[in-house]
Structure 1
Amino acid sequence: MAFDSRESGAGGSFAAVPASAGPVALALEPEAANAFLGRRMIGLAALANFLASGVTFGAFGNFVGPTSEAFGVPRSTIGLGAAFTVLAMGASAPFVGRWLDSGRAKTMMSLGALVAGAGLLLLSRAQTLGQAAFAYIALVCFGAALFGSVPSMALATNWYVRRRGLALGFTVAGGTLASYFAPASAQLLIDAHGWRTAAAVFGAATIGIAVPLFALFLIARPEEIGQRPDGDAARAAPEPASSASAATDARSSSAGGDAGLLAGLEAPLELGVLARDRRLWLLAVGFGLIMTSPVVLMGLLVEYGKDLGFSEQQAAVFFATMVPFSLLGKIVVGGLADVAPLKPSIVMIVLVNMLVWGLLHLEPSYPFFLATGAIYGIGIGGAAPVHGVATARCFGRANFGRANGLGAMAGIPLLAGASALSHLLEGATGSYHTGFLVQIALVLTGGIALILVRFPSREDGAA
């Protein structure tokens, strides 16, 4: 069954939906007004990921060529915008994490969608490169940070524990769908009406769809409406743990086995305790290096496809071949993360990503170019849900937002640096091949960092 089919903690129930129904399984079918709302929240989280990814990384590559011509600068200059995108979103991550852990997800995500949409509308009217940079980096990227990856994953983490990996898989599937639909729709709009109209349409859609849905229906935690994660029946609240005792439990994790690793996850930890936990930084660096793959690829694939002799539309088909395999990876690997050790999945993700960059380096023919997209989908699909499950197992629901926010201080510069380096290398050498080899090394290094992390075997259902 998809997620679960038990009675909700609020006393209602909802119809069981077969897992074979795919994304449709997220549609709530209440038998009572107070049915468990977890699947509705996962639907909103997936939508948030779809829109935030689409207006930032998803369609970025399609705008590189037209905007470089419009403002009279090299492609590599516009390409640096991807690096600034990552930096702008990363700079806000610690604040986003703190707001999430304090229960402000509804307000924050609604405001973020409004700001991002307004930024795209202003971008469509920009007359200078400086105006365009301000609209995109200061407004679009900052707004996307307020409702995108970290907030949506925190929402899923708050509503599910036992099936958290599967819930996160559905959540990040929104970003995967955006990686195809955003560039495809952007290219159609650019070809028919120009890049300015394309930006305006994206902005209007973000405001018109996301703002009302988030403002009206989003609920940060099930406890806000008397429910429990996974739809569990309400139970007596555990005796609250002090910050000092929680910190002691966290420090004991290095020598106390799984009991020590899992202790104190229900209680918010002091920021200093989180910052001193080496697992936080190993997770941030490890997954940060692995996730340089999609960030770099989104910014260069269309232009690299043109260098290989393909049209923009032909190059965008790479994402069409990637999407079904990436969705499969998210659901399968995310589901496995709920019941199996994490490290075998991490090894698979690392090896397949390295293979993809090696294949691109060989300048594949069009059929092999598309096959590489399918392989890439398998390799990157499970990375985000595994990252979310790993963070939640180590730090729990109460600290998920701040742990991700702190980790972004290490991970985001890696993403930005890799993106900038890929475009700088292309500008210096006239090709992307050196950057592909650099990506192989980065992904391998990330895998080594993650192997050093000791994960709890299972997270306490209360966390």
Structure 2
Amino acid sequence: MATAFAPPHTGTARAMVVRALIAQNLTIGCAFGGFGVTLLALQARYQVPLGVVSMGLALVVLTMSLAGPFVAVAVRRLGLRATMLIGITLSGSGYVVLALAGTIAIALVAFALLIGIGVALSGSLPTSLLAGGWYPHMRGRAVGIAMMPILVMVMPIVGQSVIAMHGLSAFYGAMALLHLVLVPVILGVRDPPFIPDAREVVSDDPGVTTVAILRRPAFWCIVLGGGLLNAVGITGVSHIVAIAVERGIAPSQAAMIAAILGGASIAGSLVSGWCADRFGGAWAMATMAAAFAIGWAVIANTTLLAPMIAATLLIGMAGSGVFTASNVLITRLFGFLLLGRVIGLMSLFGLPLLFLLPPAAGLLHDRAASYAPVMLTIVAICAATAALLLFVGRSERRVMAGVGV
């Protein structure tokens, strides 16, 4: 990425945030928003346990995490545009394979090697670097706008209708076509200039070694806290439809709950960006952890639609802001020039959490024949995570206090 100091052109900066929003929505929306509504359809197609089907999204997360450090290298050497074009090509090809796959093994390979790597190269990390890089002094809000998961809200409703009327293959084919439409958007991407934010660490040195990053306790705290929150969010997206159906909600209303989860995520992304800019990324993440705990505690103790919807709104707002807030936190503690590398390393070392929790939820459900122990476990995890992130927040507050923020 460019390292020359230059003020960004306002029109160009806004256009890049819009392109980041579109790219992030399509890649993440198809992978995560589309998976929950296909969970039961995939199980019916291949006649396998729910835990096996749940591995699909877990494998996407696995390869995304493994590819994280390489994405940062690709962006630095190839630039954002080329990196993202490669990503959408791989991801779109994955949905073509899913539409035609005759066995669960082929489908899982498509999730892992095509969609997972494709999303890593064109999803959250590149788009956050694009949006945040053009607005360094309001990074949280710019990344929050780019991370708004609009398709996560739309995809369950559209997907339920398409699958019911035309089948699962038609749904996957439609997602492949959406990736083709994205190509002209990515062709207009421009790498941002480097402009430091006064609220970042002073030593914004790209020559810092990986070992030096790994020696910092703050790095491991963010890995654990962010990894747990992301894993909880992915588990919710993957299982919310099945959870609602198990608790007596009609399938059409369950799809509506999944859409509400996505709709709340849009507001949550914006709110988290503002809160991270104003109060700190760690404080924002701790608040999200508390919201997760409260929301899942409510769902675990009710079968009524109204409180379930209210809890889903809270969970949706919390889940969408984790990446935005962690982006701000990492930038302040490590500096923008190290942001891509630190996020890549965090993806790698947070892999066990992201890979194991969603399928573990399916396996725990299969063994207990209920989602109740799954939800209670999530509540306990989120409460502990909130406490950890408040501890990390002390370091971030010292950086912010040093410039009078």
Greater helix fraction, Structure 1 or Structure 2: 2
After superposition, where does 1:134-145 map in structure 2 within 5 Å? Answer: 134-145=109-120
Matches within 5 A, 1:297-308: 297-308=236-247
Alignment of 1:165-176 (within 5 A): 165-173=140-148, 176=149
Q: Quick check: 1:196 aligned with 2:196?
A: no
Say if 1:128 and 1:325 are closer, same or farther in 2 by CA, change over 3 A: closer
CA positional deviation for 1:149: 1.2
Shift of residue 271, structure 1, vs aligned partner:
2.0
Distance in 1 between residues matched to 2:15 and 2:154, nearest whole Å = 22
Q: Distance in 2 between matches of 1:338 and 1:268?
A: 26
Question: In the alignment, residue 165 of structure 2 is paired with which amino acid?
Answer: A
Structure 1 counterpart SS, 2:175? helix
Within 5 Å, give how 1:49-448 maps onto structure 2.
Answer: 49-102=24-77, 104-173=79-148, 176-206=149-179, 208-214=180-186, 216-222=187-193, 262-448=201-387
Q: Which runs of 4+ in 1 moved over 6 A?
A: none
- For the 8 Å contact 1:83–1:417, the answer to whether it is kept is yes
The one-letter code matched in structure 1 to 2:171 is A
Aligned 8 A contact 1:57 1:82 in 2: yes
Partners of 1:460 and 1:268 lie apart in 2 by 24
Amino acid at match of 2:183: V
Change in Cα spacing, 1:88 to 1:40, as seen in structure 2 (3 Å) is same
Query: Which has the greater radius of gyration?
Result: 1
Query: Within 2, Cα distance between the matches of 1:377 and 1:269?
Result: 36
Partners of 2:61 and 2:178 lie apart in 1 by 22
CA contact (8 A) 1:157 1:397 kept: no
Deviation, 1:229, is 7.5
1:387: how far off? 1.0
CA deviation string 1:118-158 (max 9, x = no partner): 11011111112222121222111111111111111122232
For residues 404 and 51 of structure 1, the distance between their equivalents in structure 2, rounded to whole angstroms, comes to 21
Moved more, 113-122 or 274-283: 274-283
Asked if structure 1 preserves the Cα contact closer than 8 Å seen for 2:225 and 2:389, the reply is yes
1:327–1:62 Cα change, 3 Å: closer
Q: TM-score, normalised by structure 2?
A: 0.91
Equivalent-residue separation in structure 2 for 1:410 and 1:445 (angstroms): 19
1:42 aligns with 2:17: yes
**2: CA distance between counterparts of 1:100 and 1:413?**
25
Match of 1:457 in 2: 399
Give the length in aligned residue pairs: 395
**Does 365-374 or 339-348 show the bigger shift?**
339-348
Give identity over the alignment, percent: 24
8 Å contact from structure 2 (residues 93, 114) kept in 1: yes
CA distance in 1, matches of 2:260, 2:46: 33
Structure 2 residue ranges without an equivalent (≥5) = 1-5
CA shift at 1:291, angstroms?
1.7
Q: Distance in 2 between matches of 1:388 and 1:268?
A: 20
- Whether contact under 8 Å (2:257, 2:309) holds in the other structure is yes
Bigger drift between 74-83 and 414-423 goes to 74-83
Query: In 2, are the aligned partners of 1:159 and 1:229 still within 8 Å (CA)?
Result: no
Deviation at 1:90, TM superposition (A): 0.7
SS in 2 for 1:457: helix
Question: Distance between the aligned counterparts of 1:113 and 1:133, measured in 2?
Answer: 18
CA distance in 1, matches of 2:281, 2:78: 29
**In structure 1, distance between residues paired with 2:217 and 2:386:** 16
The SS at the match of 1:135 is helix
TM-score normalised by structure 1 residue count: 0.80
**Aligned position for 1:252:** none
Q: What secondary structure, in the 3-state scheme, does the structure 1 residue paired with 2:291 have? A: helix
CA positional deviation for 1:60: 0.8
Q: Compute the displacement of 1:328 (Å).
A: 2.6
Give me the whole-angstrom Cα distance separating, in 2, the residues matched to 1:449 and 1:292. Answer: 16
The 3-state SS of whatever aligns with 2:94 is: helix
Decide whether aligned partners of structure 1 residues 364 and 57 sit closer, same or farther in structure 2, where only a CA change above 3 A counts.
Answer: same
Task: Report what 1:251 is aligned to.
Answer: none
Q: 8 Å contact 1:120–1:140 — kept in the other structure?
A: yes
State the distance in 2 between where 1:266 and 1:395 align. 9
Q: Distance in 2 between matches of 1:137 and 1:187?
A: 24
**Which secondary structure state, in structure 1, belongs to the residue aligned with residue 92 of structure 2?**
helix
Contact 1:110/1:210 (CA < 8 Å) preserved in 2?
no
CA distance in structure 1 between the aligned counterparts of 2:206 and 2:28, rounded to whole angstroms? 32
TM-superposed CA distance for 1:412, in Å, is 2.6
How big is the shift at 1:370?
Answer: 1.4
Partner secondary structure for residue 51 of structure 1: helix
